[in-house]
Amino acid sequence: MLSVIVDGLWREGDKSLAVRLVAENGEALPAWQPGAHVDVHLPCGVVRQYSLTGACEDESYLICVGRESASRGGSRYVHETLRPGQKLAISTPRNLFPLHQAERVLLLAAGIGITPLYAMALQLKAAGTAFTLHYYVRNRESAAFARELSRCDGCIIHTTSPRTALAEHLPTAELGLHAWVCGPAGFMEKVREVAAARGWDDTHLHSEAFQPVAPAAGGETGEIFTVKLASTGERWPVPADKTIAQVLQENGVDVPLSCEMGICGACLTPVIDGVVDHRDSVQSEAEKGATDQQVALCCSRSHSGELVIAL
């Protein structure tokens, strides 16, 4: 855990607040790469994941928080209560959305999804990699980092709906072309739909969810199964109304948790045996189908009667 101070707080567009964080001890904060996020422990008792943005060479961290009308507490606290000089605890950066080597890059952002992609654009520019950033906003006033983006070649802010504009902005799949996508669930769904129609496959389209996947029909948590620890052989039933993480904690097992909604990756644990019923939105479909799988203990369940995990 890192102890940081809110060093600056300013408006980015009419819907977001940028927050600069510096280390309390005055040292440089740990290095990070675009796509990384930190868990921010807010004094109102909630922990929220925010992407780091801006230039990754900076010694401070920059996050940008959109004002959500249906805030569950985090965005409201940042917008209404957080003040410069305030002390916060944050995790070290974790990157589940890394920028890989690619010949050409397409960045597609909607709303507050700009935060990781703005950092990617700066890095691609510095590395001399060919890229285009399409940033969709409802109106120009709501765009974050608008001034910086307008000075950056290849970054275009659109006020047209991505529903219609994507058909023009998302080309057919090409070797060497990779896309990174971030925004609300509906936007990402639309991108995936257009991309699939244009021949893109999962390995070239990288996305990060900011919202948990909608629960399965009826919202039920599923059948009862057993979770077993590979290290000790201890096993416990996981009832339909509890998560694997809750059952483990009740039995004294330390489980790293953060979002508890399947969107941050803190609780991902390797699976030794069993068939996971994946319910997180952190992992890609390829990762969920790989031989070496990980299970999100906070939300996923099991299709097999027993799940053996590497704890």
Which residues contribute to the site for ligand FES (CB under 6 A)?
A: 257-260, 262-267, 280, 282, 296, 298
CB of 281 to ligand FES, least distance (A): 9
Burial of 58 (0-12, 13-18, 19+ CB in 10 A): middle
User: Among all chains, which residue has been given the structure tokens 């590979």?
Assistant: 230
In the bound state with ligand FES, the residue whose beta carbon lies nearer, of 99 and 267, is 267
CB of 75 to ligand FES, least distance (A): 18
Strand partners, 117: none
Q: How many CB atoms are closer than 10 A to CB 61?
A: 26
Contacts of 218 (CB under 8 A, 6+ apart): none
CB of 168 to ligand FES, least distance (A): 35
CB of 47 to ligand FES, least distance (A): 9
Give the residue among 206, 19, 198 at the shortest CA–CA distance from 107.
206
Strand partners, 136: 110, 158
Give the residue among 40, 35, 51 at the shortest CA–CA distance from 5.
40
In the bound state with ligand FES, the residue whose beta carbon lies nearer, of 115 and 281, is 281
In the bound state with ligand FES, the residue whose beta carbon lies nearer, of 282 and 309, is 282
The answer to whether the beta carbons of residues 2 and 15 sit under 8 Å apart is: no
The answer to whether the beta carbons of residues 194 and 167 sit under 8 Å apart is: yes
CB of 33 to ligand FES, least distance (A): 20
CB of 264 to ligand FES, least distance (A): 3
CB of 173 to ligand FES, least distance (A): 30
From CA 158, how far away is CA 162, in angstroms rounded?
Answer: 8
CB of 24 to ligand FES, least distance (A): 25
SS3 for 98-113, per residue? CCCCCCEEEEEEEHHH
Q: What angle do CA 145, 146, 152 make, to 5 degrees?
A: 90
CB of 8 to ligand FES, least distance (A): 28
Q: Which residues in 70-210 belong to E strands, given as ranges? A: 87-90, 94-95, 104-110, 130-136, 155-158, 177-183, 205-209
In the bound state with ligand FES, the residue whose beta carbon lies nearer, of 90 and 122, is 90
In the bound state with ligand FES, the residue whose beta carbon lies nearer, of 129 and 246, is 246
> How remote is the C-alpha of 44 from its chain's centroid?
21
Coil/strand/helix, residue 124 = helix
